[in-house]
Amino acid sequence: MRSITRRLASLVHLAAPLALIFGGVVLLSLGVAYLFIHFYRTVDGLPDFVTVLTLQFLPRPIRGILLLVSGLGLLGVGIWKLSGVAVIPLHQAAPVDDELVLGYRRKVLPNIVVLSGGPGLLILSPIGTQVRRLTCVVPVQDPVEYYYRASGLFNLQNVYYVVPTPVPMQVVAELDDGTQMDVRHLALDLSVAARHVANLKLDGAEGSALQITRLAAEAIRDADAIILGPGSLFESILPNLLIDALREAITQSAARKIYICNLMTEPGRTTGFGVADHIKAIKRYGGFTPDYVLVNAQRIDPEVYRIYAAAAQEPVYLTPEEYEETALLSLEHGSSRGVMIEGSVVIEADLASSVIQYTASLSHPTENRAVRVLRHDSDKLGLAVLELLRKS
């Protein structure tokens, strides 16, 4: 319904001319009708096909209804066809002969909602120039001030941050060994690096008791695509799905759901997870399966691999054991072969780049060391997302 309203809105500048045309057609039809009546009353021996064409074998009320329905149908089709032409009003002092009306195929920009943390949204933010609106629904446990500061600092275009609930809630993770702690602290505790999250819950509240904000509800309602990630699965993406109202809004939305899979496993959170495990977690907490999943296909060099291995992290790659069936997708830069996993079309693409990051330890805060790390590449990821949206 939203797309229909959006298309018909292009006729707003033609409202007055169309009204005059409609009035002229009605008067013309009345004139033709009067001439037909005069013709029938004054001419004898009309051929039989004239009687059939003018529906003389039907009672007048039925004839009138059929003609009205047919006329309204043709009028509706005509208006719909006309709305496919974009009309540009020219507000300049120029002779009538110099004015030009152009018809062209319109490019409708999508509304996109992102469920991710601040860093993940900053990676996607460059596509803000190519969408109507890019809205980040921040994790329920994080204060929104950080995201507003980040948005102002980078001067992001068409990028907005909204909170899912009026009051932040803490999210507790229960690990596979029964340990419970704040989901944000898992990455800081090396003693749980070999564990993974078995259950996620809100601390001190039920998801059914929380109301989502009007801005978050409207953003999801108007979305053409809902992107999960990039970002921590259990810290940045899944917490909002614990809110019943928000989860239901997403499942009821006709928007395409796209999940950007993590590049690496996270110690204490997704240790041992493959692509299928990430999708299963979304299905478990969200009640839906993403339409598409983007997975990095780039193999990292041994040096970077050793750095991550020392931190108990492994690359998240697509493995043949996870394949269910294959699907051939027609994309702008050629066809791409995806595979079906847990009901999602999983597409491998080059989505990451190695970057130099300077870090400092808690024991020596003044000493920095350069480390090569793997990060989602803004340009590569943005291109993959936009291409997928254009074709889907």
Going by the DSSP 8-state scheme, the letter that residue 213 receives in this structure is: P
Task: Report, as an integer, the average pLDDT of 181-198.
Answer: 90
Query: Which pTM was predicted?
Result: 0.72
Helix axis angle for 244-252 and 214-221, nearest 10°, is: 20
The kind and range of the H/E element at 121 are helix 118-124
**pLDDT attached to residue 87:** 53
Altogether, the residues listed in the chain come to a count of: 392
Report phi then psi at 89, rounded to 5. Answer: -75, 130
- Yes or no: say if 172 and 183 are a contact pair by the CB < 8 Å rule: yes
pLDDT band at 238 (very low <50, low <70, confident <90, very high): very high
Residue among 172, 253, 243 at smallest CA distance from 213: 243
What confidence tens digit (pLDDT) does each residue in 103-116 have? 545 567 899 999 99
Q: Exposed, middle or buried, 43 (CB in 10 Å: 0-12/13-18/19+)?
A: exposed
Tokens encoding 365: 């805060």
Q: Is the peptide bond before 230 cis (omega within 30 degrees of 0)?
A: yes
Strands (E), the chain: 111-115, 133-137, 159-162, 171-175, 180-182, 197-202, 225-228, 256-260, 292-296, 325-331, 334-341, 344-349, 352-360, 368-376
**Bridge partners for 355 per DSSP:** 373
Min mean pLDDT across 110-114, 295-299, 319-323, 375-379 is at 319-323
Amino acid at 102: L
The whole-angstrom separation of Cα 1 and Cα 86 is 19
Number of neighbours of residue 68 by Cβ within 10 angstroms: 10
The number of angstroms, rounded, from the C-alpha of 255 to the middle of its chain's C-alpha atoms is 5
**pLDDT attached to residue 261:** 97
- Write the DSSP assignment of 239-252 as a string of letters: GGGGSHHHHHHHHH
The whole-angstrom separation of Cα 351 and Cα 260 is 10
The whole-angstrom separation of Cα 55 and Cα 138 is 64
Task: Report, as an integer, the average pLDDT of 214-219.
Answer: 95
What confidence tens digit (pLDDT) does each residue in 321-372 have? 776 655 555 555 444 557 888 889 999 999 998 887 766 555 555 666 677 7
Bridge pairing between strands 292-296 and 159-162? unpaired
**Bridge partners for 346 per DSSP:** 293, 339
- Yes or no: say if 339 and 295 are a contact pair by the CB < 8 Å rule: no
What domains can you pick out in the chain, each with its CATH number? 2-98 (no CATH), 111-391 (3.40.50.10680)
